[in-house]
Structure 1
Amino acid sequence: MLQSRTLFGRPLETSLVAVDRAISEFRAGRPVLLRSAETRLLALSAELADAELVGRLDALASGKAYLALTPARLRRLGAKNRTETGILAMPTLDLARIEMLALKIDGKVDAPVAPASALDDAALELSRLSLVLPATIIVPVTAEQTAGEPLVEVDIEAVNGYRAAQAATLTIVGRAPVPLEGAPDTEFVVFRGGEGLRDQVAIIVGNPDLSGPVPVRLHSACLTGDLFGSLKCDCGDQLRETVQWMAENEGGILLYLDQEGRGNGISNKMRAYKLQSQGWDTYDADEVLGFDLDQRHFDFAATMLKQLGVTRVTALTNNPLKVGAIKAAGLEVDATQRVLGRPNVHNVRYLASKRDRAGHFIDMDALMARAAPKD
């Protein structure tokens, strides 16, 4: 990893810094210059494009612009059985066409889909890191065309390696006792890094024995369920009941991970909720937006556990993806334990979808029995 020195002499890992800046630019609706060897392109979020900027890019593109879309979005547009990123040529950058292909529920593929390059895949990864819709306007450029422009420039290897690099730089930046209702002996430990510029939190409940398997839950943040008690999911129930169970059973560790909406971000989660209110299944709604089943990564969660001294876990989860991620990161999973929420008329379809489409270990009969009125 290349390093430079600042005015004050402190080394900077320049690839991480470049991606951090690229994320900020991309989220602000400004183009980012991606490069691989001698090839360069401008990448702009289709969601954030406006007519004036599209017009400027069109003048620069000379008919060579195109739109990069994810396999999920292409399938929803009618490109059947699509499993790879694809591109659609944009001889003229037409904002209405871009919106139809990238944003509209009733959009349809209107031209041949060509294979994407590694640069195009990196552009879509940048959109995911930026928590905007994964649809990117691409304009191939030369160094001469962009000379003197105040563009953030980043190599695709830096973009593709960003998540792993962030996990490797995780550090504890603060910790303090925070007594909770029903769990007064609790400590919050804050880590910097892991997913972009966000912080992550480990909640240590009680005094878990680190020499044996530690009860651990990886809990992705859910603003609507955790804080406001939304009935559309079971997240808040899982959060509070896990902490209570740990307090009553010699402790454990809950990692509260900033991965709202299965890693898609709060704005895209609300878009998906809007589609669900119109009858879409939770996973179909994500596919309309261009996302596959789950965008989350858990390698940094394992790094957090290792820094806390955990080597063996009892995984409190219904999600086999989390169990696999913990094992892949080099931790032992001695056992798993289900975490039950409460079904209701608003979330029962969601729970069944997680079971049927994402392989979650959810016993709907047991859940319904739990929710049944007691005599």
Structure 2
Amino acid sequence: MSELVAENVPIAASALQSVDRAIADLRRGACVLVYTGDGFAALVQSAETLCDATLSQLRSLTAESSGSIDTTPRLLLTARRAAAVGFDEARSLIPVSGVFALSLDSDAIEASTIQSLADPTDEPGYDVEVLRPRVTPAPAALSESAIDLTKLARLLPAAIIAQVAIGAGAAANSQTLPVKVIRDWAGRHDLLSVSTEDIADYRLGAAKALTKVAAAKIPLDHAENTRVVAFRPNDGGIEHLALIIGEPDPSAPVLARMHSECFTGDLLGSLRCDCGDQLRGAIRTMGEVGSGILLYLSQEGRGIGLINKLRAYELQDRGADTAEANEQLGFDADERIYLPAAEMLRQLGFKRVRLLTNNPQKVSALARCGISVEERVAHHFPSNGHNQFYLETKAARFGHYL
């Protein structure tokens, strides 16, 4: 689970917008320019949306740059994904930078090969021993931001990166450039530019910038007195919802649940998980006791997104458990954050909760975000026959109380 806590640091709306626009460009297959505050810059493109034409375009853009730095494109994988592919040397990187790189110093590696390296559900189109000589260091700050940007875009955590040296500013003894020069170069090439600092601050900024944008009474089965409040960050990003059941008292600890969206379980009634049972069970429990708040968080698949969750399901069908599947895709076992939930509670006037959960990590995460968890209320349901292994994995790998 990602570590993220509230800080009293203002984050400009323009910073959120620049990251949000970069996310959109990555999702449509374009490249963006990522730069550091000390003047390093690199072109970044998603491996998932890559094709031979866009890879060729990236190569031509780097060919225009001049200077003393190595502008060779590199494929970035998370260390977890690289280890799953078969690069044993990547395991030592997992607790450190977590980024593994392969040089793309010629046209020998096609886009289809890069995509199969990034996606474990593809038929393998590579030979690890042939690729091993291409293992190369990754530019630290830029590479970590590139991978983070693909995660924010809910794409596979794999990217193509190529450092750029722009004009005479990259002198022989200096690889750095003024930020204005970097941005001007991006503008001339019709590229969006975004800083590593803004990427690092995005999740915190999006959570702190949540505002209430709509509310309506929606009578629910087992909880007819329910009001749904929608929260949106000020960059227009993904909304989260609060279901306020009854009339909870802000002066007392409120019965609350943080529920991460699950399209397959919540809406389709999938039997692979217990999410639908937990959602409807929480609403029923709150209706029975008379009040409560259910925070419906937009972080599908433990924060990896719906498409990647479907990929994880395919890996589970091949024998992986929930945690292993996420890691084979290149993610952490749990990518969720709970600062948005804490911010929603604060805006609704609640600072103390009785948390309806079996997940001890949720208790500690919400407490780190400034909400007092005064009681953990058990919330589990029997296996339906299809989700027994899933529930066993929750207990064994994530420490859930089941």
Work out whether the TM-score is over 0.5. yes
Give the CA deviation at 1:277: 2.1
Secondary structure at the counterpart of residue 119 of structure 1: helix
Alignment partners' CA distance in 2, 1:329 and 1:196: 23
Structure 1 equivalent of residue 81 of structure 2: 73
Task: Compute the TM-score of the two structures, normalised by the length of structure 2.
Answer: 0.83
2:113 to 97, 103, 106: 97
Give the CA deviation at 1:358: 1.4
Give runs of aligned pairs for residues 2-81 of structure 1, distance below 5 A: 13-36=13-36, 37-61=38-62, 64-80=72-88, 81=91
Give the CA deviation at 1:238: 0.3
Secondary structure at the counterpart of residue 151 of structure 1: coil
Q: Is the 8 A contact 2:20 2:235 kept in 1?
A: no
1:137 to 139, 155, 160: 160
One-letter amino acid matched to 1:49? L
Q: Give the fraction of aligned pairs with identical amino acids, expressed as a percent.
A: 40
Higher mean alpha-carbon deviation, 244-253 vs 67-76, is at 67-76
Deviations 1:57-81 (A, max 9, x none): 2344467110111122122122443
One-letter amino acid matched to 2:142? L
Give runs of aligned pairs for residues 224-373 of structure 1, distance below 5 A: 224-362=264-402
Alignment partners' CA distance in 1, 2:28 and 2:378: 41
Secondary structure at the counterpart of residue 173 of structure 1: strand
Higher mean alpha-carbon deviation, 99-108 vs 265-274, is at 99-108
Structure 2 equivalent of residue 128 of structure 1: 151
Give the CA deviation at 1:321: 1.8
Q: Provide closer, same or farther for how the CA distance between residues 108 and 294 of structure 1 changes in structure 2, counting only shifts above 3 A.
A: farther
Alignment partners' CA distance in 1, 2:30 and 2:263: 28
Secondary structure at the counterpart of residue 261 of structure 1: helix
Give the CA deviation at 1:176: 1.6
Q: Is the 8 A contact 1:166 1:193 kept in 2?
A: yes
Q: Provide closer, same or farther for how the CA distance between residues 77 and 331 of structure 1 changes in structure 2, counting only shifts above 3 A.
A: same
Give the CA deviation at 1:147: 6.2
One-letter amino acid matched to 1:51? D
Deviations 1:153-197 (A, max 9, x none): 011100110111111111111112111111111111111129971
Q: Provide closer, same or farther for how the CA distance between residues 49 and 179 of structure 1 changes in structure 2, counting only shifts above 3 A.
A: same
Instruction: Confirm or deny that 1:155 pairs with 2:195.
Output: yes
Alignment partners' CA distance in 2, 1:164 and 1:101: 31
Q: Provide closer, same or farther for how the CA distance between residues 252 and 118 of structure 1 changes in structure 2, counting only shifts above 3 A.
A: same
Alignment partners' CA distance in 1, 2:246 and 2:166: 58
One-letter amino acid matched to 1:20? D
Higher mean alpha-carbon deviation, 105-114 vs 64-73, is at 105-114
Q: Provide closer, same or farther for how the CA distance between residues 122 and 196 of structure 1 changes in structure 2, counting only shifts above 3 A.
A: farther
Structure 1 portions without partners, runs of 5+: 4-11, 363-375
1:220 to 246, 260, 276: 260
Q: Provide closer, same or farther for how the CA distance between residues 325 and 108 of structure 1 changes in structure 2, counting only shifts above 3 A.
A: farther
Secondary structure at the counterpart of residue 301 of structure 2: coil
Deviations 1:240-290 (A, max 9, x none): 011100111131100001111111111111111122222222222212211
Q: Is the 8 A contact 1:238 1:341 kept in 2?
A: yes
Q: Is the 8 A contact 1:2 1:13 kept in 2?
A: no
Secondary structure at the counterpart of residue 102 of structure 2: strand
CA-based RMSD: 2.1
Secondary structure at the counterpart of residue 189 of structure 1: strand
Q: Is the 8 A contact 1:167 1:194 kept in 2?
A: no
Alignment partners' CA distance in 2, 1:46 and 1:73: 13
Give runs of aligned pairs for residues 143-182 of structure 1, distance below 5 A: 143-144=166-167, 148-182=188-222
Q: Is the 8 A contact 1:124 1:135 kept in 2?
A: yes
Q: Is the 8 A contact 2:186 2:193 kept in 1?
A: no
Q: Provide closer, same or farther for how the CA distance between residues 196 and 141 of structure 1 changes in structure 2, counting only shifts above 3 A.
A: farther
Q: Is the 8 A contact 2:18 2:193 kept in 1?
A: yes
Alignment partners' CA distance in 2, 1:52 and 1:14: 31
Instruction: Confirm or deny that 1:114 pairs with 2:137.
Output: yes
Q: Which consecutive aligned stretches of 4+ in structure 1 deviate over 6 angstroms post-superposition? A: none
Give the CA deviation at 1:209: 1.9
Give the CA deviation at 1:16: 1.5
One-letter amino acid matched to 1:98? I
Higher mean alpha-carbon deviation, 303-312 vs 93-102, is at 93-102
Deviations 1:12-70 (A, max 9, x none): 73211111111111111100100112211110000000111112223444671101111
One-letter amino acid matched to 2:79? P
Q: Is the 8 A contact 1:163 1:196 kept in 2?
A: no
Give the CA deviation at 1:2: 10
Task: Compute the TM-score of the two structures, normalised by the length of structure 1.
Answer: 0.89
Q: Is the 8 A contact 1:86 1:116 kept in 2?
A: no
Q: Is the 8 A contact 1:163 1:194 kept in 2?
A: no
Higher mean alpha-carbon deviation, 75-84 vs 335-344, is at 75-84
Alignment partners' CA distance in 2, 1:333 and 1:162: 26
Give the CA deviation at 1:291: 1.0
Higher mean alpha-carbon deviation, 55-64 vs 173-182, is at 55-64
One-letter amino acid matched to 1:85? V
Q: Is the 8 A contact 2:206 2:233 kept in 1?
A: yes
